[in-house]
A = this chain, B = another copy of it.
Amino acid sequence: MTASDQPQVPDLDQLARQVADHIENAEVQALLDLVAPLHPADIADIMERLNRFEQNFVFDALAPEEGSQVLLELEDATREDVLADIDEKRLAPMVDEMESDDAADIVGELDDEVRERVLRQVPEESRQEVEQLLTYPEDSAGGIMALEIPWIRQNHTVAKAIEMIRTHHREIEDINEVFVVDRDQRLVGEILPVGLLLADPEAKVSDIMKTEVVSVPPEMDQEEAAGIASKYDLINVPVTDDNQRLLGVITYDDIFDVIEEEDQEDISYMAGTGEDEPAERSAMKAVRERGPWLLLGLLGSMAAGQVMKGFEQSLQANVMLVIFLPAVMATGGSVAIQASSLVVRGLGGGSFAFQGVPLVLWRELRVSALLGLGLGLLLGSFALVSFGDSRFGLCILAALGLVVVNAAITGTLIPLVLKRIGIDPAVAMGPFITALNDVMAVTIYFLVVVTMLSGHVPSAAVR
């Protein structure tokens, strides 16, 4: 099949319907004929569209090599289901089939007991690799690196290096870079296969290799490692120990995944969805993941309510004070999230031009003063017109302005503080900062209103 015969992207919805039909009619051969020529990522996407019975039906029909690839492409929630239902005897050869990093990921997802049983059925070499990789934290450079390393020696000739790749690294799929090591297996350079292809076969590897090699320690956070790959445009990130000895390689496809995963993690912090994900079907899991964030927000706004209770007298005097409160609270919350999200984005991904806290804060102060003034004038004018009372209008302008500036300061400082004390600053972009702001906004609002209006009753109150 040539590229031009092929549709550019298969219609997965339609394929999923056909697969479901074949399953209903128990047409196993027709199912296989339909599914087998597809890319494992497409088979996985089709499975996402099926119910659990159908998912297992398709998965069980696949050959182990194919099944192992499909397993890796499934969404977390679906893979959890499939792994819960799969026979260990069927899983073991799939694990053996995978690259070491993928095998460790899958085995790492199993319950301790199942893990033991599966590993016992995996050949010695694969088992040792998996066990070695599982010693690193899941989201560290070590936790995502593969142990299959295409390496050659610096004192070899190009011809000998090619022979080395042919005899020793043939089993490594898709070699797109070759690492050069010294006698002690320390990383001293890198070379692209095309470099070997175009070089004189008698040239020495050390004379044609690139020596400015960036490598990372296995303990490094995966986000930082991906940031380095992205910054220096690396296809692979070599992982080395303290003596610069080559331990493993993080490949570009894992870097795609990490960039995506870390940003999605930030989004889930902002939205307060925890580990709930789009492919998840269990309502209980969603409740468990989202509930705590909502509870946090609820407690914050209940506290805000209690603050209001403290100002009951002012409210009794003029209940209409309250109609400006939603605007003040909402605007403060939005400003806090704007400021915190910029600081978090600046801190993460290594892309922050860190001009120092004072400069960042100074900019936020100016920005929020301008925004507070602009929005305050708008809401204040509206208050003036509604109540026909200029003092009250001024009061709303002051309250909103203060709330906005306060929100900007809080939104800037909290992620910096969280980072300093070792908590992911992304937490500060969501319900946490909103809850905090609710309490502060209500307090500021009433304090300003009570202070500025003391003794003065806005005219609307005596309509």
Q: Which residues of B contact A355 (CB under 8 A)?
A: 48-49, 281
Chain A, 250-291, contact with B by CB distance < 8 Å: what is the 0/1 string?
001101110110011011101111001111010110110011
Question: Are the CB atoms of A442 and B263 closer together than 8 Å?
Answer: no
Of the listed residues A193, A216, A338, A378, the one surrounded by the most CB atoms of chain B closer than 10 A to its CB is A338
Known interface pairs A165-B194, A189-B3, A341-B267; A326-B324 also in contact (CB < 8 Å): no
Asked if A298 is at the interface of the complex by the 8 Å CB criterion, the answer is yes
Question: Are the CB atoms of A2 and B211 closer together than 8 Å?
Answer: yes
Asked if A166 is at the interface of the complex by the 8 Å CB criterion, the answer is yes
Asked if A370 is at the interface of the complex by the 8 Å CB criterion, the answer is yes
- Nearest opposing residue in chain B for A283, CB measure: B366
Known interface pairs A13-B354, A193-B192, A305-B325; A272-B235 also in contact (CB < 8 Å): no
Question: Are the CB atoms of B326 and A438 closer together than 8 Å?
Answer: yes
Question: Are the CB atoms of B301 and A331 closer together than 8 Å?
Answer: yes
Question: Are the CB atoms of B279 and A353 closer together than 8 Å?
Answer: yes
Known interface pairs A3-B187, A4-B188, A260-B259; A279-B197 also in contact (CB < 8 Å): no
CB distance from A279 to the nearest CB of B (A): 4
Contact of A8 (CB < 8 Å), options: B189, B215, B434: B215
Could you tell me how many residues of chain A have their Cβ less than 8 Å away from some Cβ of chain B?
138
C-alpha gap A295/B354 in the complex (Å): 29
Q: Which residues of B contact A48 (CB under 8 A)?
A: 353-355
Known interface pairs A8-B215, A263-B263, A342-B273; A252-B235 also in contact (CB < 8 Å): yes
C-alpha gap A242/B176 in the complex (Å): 30
C-alpha gap A319/B370 in the complex (Å): 34
Contact of A166 (CB < 8 Å), options: B198, B255, B267, B429: B198
Question: Are the CB atoms of A256 and B255 closer together than 8 Å?
Answer: yes
Tell me which of A24-32, A112-120, A307-315, A448-456 binds B.
A307-315
Chain A, 220-237, contact with B by CB distance < 8 Å: what is the 0/1 string?
000000001111110100
Known interface pairs A166-B198, A197-B193, A271-B338; A331-B298 also in contact (CB < 8 Å): yes
Q: Which residues of B contact A312 (CB under 8 A)?
A: 319-320
Question: Are the CB atoms of A352 and B290 closer together than 8 Å?
Answer: no
Question: Are the CB atoms of B162 and A175 closer together than 8 Å?
Answer: no
Question: Are the CB atoms of A264 and B305 closer together than 8 Å?
Answer: no
Asked if A18 is at the interface of the complex by the 8 Å CB criterion, the answer is no
Question: Are the CB atoms of B232 and A235 closer together than 8 Å?
Answer: no
Question: Are the CB atoms of A2 and B267 closer together than 8 Å?
Answer: no
C-alpha gap A393/B343 in the complex (Å): 41
Q: Which residues of B contact A272 (CB under 8 A)?
A: 334, 337-338
List residues of chain A with CB under 8 Å of any chain B CB: 1-4, 6, 8-9, 13, 39, 41, 45, 48-49, 73, 75, 78, 162, 165-166, 170, 174-177, 186-189, 192-194, 196-198, 211-217, 228-233, 235, 240, 243-244, 252-253, 255-257, 259-260, 263-264, 266-268, 270-273, 276-279, 281, 283-284, 286-287, 290-291, 293-295, 297-298, 300-302, 304-306, 308-309, 312, 315-316, 319-320, 322-327, 329-331, 334-335, 337-338, 340-343, 345-346, 349-355, 363, 366-367, 370-371, 374-375, 378-379, 382, 429, 431, 434-435, 438, 442
